[in-house]
Structure 1
Amino acid sequence: MDLIPIISICIPTYNRCEKVYKLVNDILLYEGEDIEVVVLDNCSTDNTKSLLNKITDKRFSFFQNQENIGGILNPLKAISLGSGKFAVLCLDKDYLDFRSIKKIIDNVTIDSEIVFGRCDLNIQNENLLSSSIIYKKGYDSIINMAYLSSHPSGMFYKTAEYRNLELVKNIFVQQKPFPFYPDLINAEMAMIGKSQLLKLPSFFTESKDEASKSPSFTYDINNVYFSPAKRILEFDAYIESVEKLRISSYELAKIIFTIYGRGLMFSTFIYKIMLDDDDVCIHNKISKRKVKFFELWKLNLHFSTHFFKKKIKLNFLQKGVIVLCWNVKFFVKSIFTLL
């Protein structure tokens, strides 16, 4: 009888045959029988199938969608195909160092109450004193592991809990084009059990130079995830999510404070940084340009006005305190951008 693997490394792919072939073979250099590698192909038109069919390792499984379900849903579906106790996501354009797998397994199995987590990306050297941080169920996990707008590679979930999550089922029914579903999933997983942050040299994203040579299959000028308009939709989704969680009013206010601050900074300063980066713009097929001082404040006003108008479980005074606190930080940061 075959042993159930501890972790399933789930790789969604589309038209990156050479990269995904190398990625799978590199991961399979790990010698243990406690892993499996699962690839879900999103109807690639290149040589993905023929290349991956050359891999004969019994720890490898290859699946194909009957139709292209898009770059947002495919990773979520890939996670559900894992048969291991935990499913770990790695995008086909990223890299997982097989030498870290044993430590990942040792860490995720250290506490039976851990139901989800993530590996920090692009860690070069392991800090033995803080290579693993476990957050308690509820608020502690929500504030540290959800609503971060994070890159999804390195996220992991207890497979049974993930499959049973009603939110995951609803995502595939509604099929809304929202790029940060894992953050919503993380918030609901936080209400089920503990979470874990691993700071290991394990998952590495593609370099900016690599990204500029390989256009995004998910985003373009019409739907780029870091535009201010998309950040407002992201903010709304996070607020809708957190207000459904069974947490105290005090915890809710603290989380909304954090969500607002991140949203404000993402829709202004991060937007400015993105549009000033050649590689980012080429990858996302958009034009590079400078976002000037007054445009930053205009974007701030738009985001803050939206926040005030939005009906949420906070009163006007609470909203005012949140906006005031973050705008002090915004003012200081905007001044420094002029220096």
Structure 2
Amino acid sequence: MCDCPMISVVMSAYNEEEYIQNSINSILNQSITDFELIIIDDCSNDKTVDLIKEFSDSRISLIQNDTNIGLPRSLNIALGKASGKYIARMDADDISLSNRLEKQAKYLESHPDVHVVGSYTRQIGTNGEFFGVETYPEGGRSVEQLKNQGPGVAHPSVMIRRSSLEHVNNYREPFKYAQDLDLWIRMSREFGKDFLQIIPEPLVEYRLTPSQYSRHSVNDIYESYAGEYLGRETELEDRIKREVKRRKKQHDSSKGEVMYHYRAGRLLLDRQKRSRASKQFLLAIFCSPLSPHGWYGSALACLPRPLQDRIDSYIQ
């Protein structure tokens, strides 16, 4: 009889010395203890591995890649070592609230037809400052909805049945980005649109960083191929590489900083934190005076909330 944990927490790390210990501690301090934490380091060249090794908790397993192989391949290696009934995804710069694993495991135990459960997230900045709560649709996700609207859930907030992941052959390795969207589309096809559900409360602190936004144009390419070319992964990878190469020639290095500050400002504005929001919009303008985002946000911050919402509805 297998003496296996209920939950395998799978975390991939690459140069996360600034955040890794807080992320690990947030898992070790969970209200439930029946888990293993599998950390796969993707050939970091900072102090990430040394900081991981400072932990002596027997529930932690560290895998070190000899070369940098990217997130989907790293996740698949870690999944090959996982023995839990459920897989909890975790990023090395995020924080799981203390009741996350317990609540998600209980949800899956009581909803046998659900294959993935996510949650709302607390959006935090590079220094841990709180910007606002991100909510996600609580209903199902059809293939068409996923293709048109995106994942509709934060990847590091999900817990997945390991048997369901294995059924669809885990992550597809050509997807350096958007591997979650590709996975959800394949699961929706296999299990129906109600495969994924949301617990309507924040269980994870999700860290926003400028690098997330600097790669958005490249991420769009990966998203456009999500769920496609099944069984033709080599052809898929070649196509994506060609498009990414063309897109990178047009890359604006300041865009990531602009969009980071704009997103932070919008979250703060939603909470009616006008002063703090205005500071974020000014930072966006400072990063790129010709970008419209900072100016648009600054104008919105001067208006009453009903007018903000009306203008936003016209723009969208």
Distance 1:26 1:235, change over 3 A: closer
Aligned length: 242
- Equivalent of residue 225 in structure 1, options 201, 215, 218: 215
**2:150 counterpart SS class:** coil
Distance 1:40 1:291, change over 3 A: same
Residue 203 (structure 2) aligns with: 202
TM-score scaled by structure 2?
0.61
1:184 aligns with 2:182: yes
Residues 307-329 of structure 1, C-alpha deviations (whole Å, 9 max, x = no match): xxxxxxxxxxxxxxxxxxxxxxx
Residues 24-72 of structure 1, C-alpha deviations (whole Å, 9 max, x = no match): 1232123534222111111112222232223222222111112111246
Residue 19 (structure 2) aligns with: 19
- Equivalent of residue 162 in structure 2, options 159, 163, 167: 159
**Identity rate of aligned residues, in percent?**
17
**1:157 counterpart SS class:** strand
Q: Please give the alpha-carbon distance, in whole angstroms, between the structure 2 residues aligned to 1:112 and 1:38.
A: 25
Q: Structure 1 counterpart of 2:102, which letter? A: K
Shift of 1:90: 1.2
Residue 258 (structure 1) aligns with: none
**1:190 counterpart SS class:** helix
Structure 2 gaps of 5+ residues are 124-129, 231-254, 265-286, 294-310
Q: Structure 1 counterpart of 2:183, which letter? A: I
1:6-155 equivalences under 5 Å are 6-30=6-30, 32-71=32-71, 73-75=73-75, 77-122=77-122, 133=138, 135=140, 140-142=141-143, 148-149=150-151, 151-155=154-158
Q: Please give the alpha-carbon distance, in whole angstroms, between the structure 1 residues aligned to 2:32 and 2:260.
A: 41
CA contact (8 A) 2:84 2:162 kept: yes
1:237 aligns with 2:241: no
Distance 1:143 1:80, change over 3 A: farther
Distance 1:13 1:46, change over 3 A: same
Residues 123-152 of structure 1, C-alpha deviations (whole Å, 9 max, x = no match): 8999xxx999574xxxx5546667625542
Shift of 1:85: 1.0
CA contact (8 A) 1:116 1:186 kept: no
**2:216 counterpart SS class:** coil
TM-score scaled by structure 1?
0.58
CA contact (8 A) 2:115 2:161 kept: yes
Residue 322 (structure 1) aligns with: none
Q: Please give the alpha-carbon distance, in whole angstroms, between the structure 2 residues aligned to 1:7 and 1:239.
A: 27
Distance 1:162 1:289, change over 3 A: farther
Structure 1 gaps of 5+ residues are 243-271, 282-286, 294-331
Q: Please give the alpha-carbon distance, in whole angstroms, between the structure 2 residues aligned to 1:83 and 1:151.
A: 23
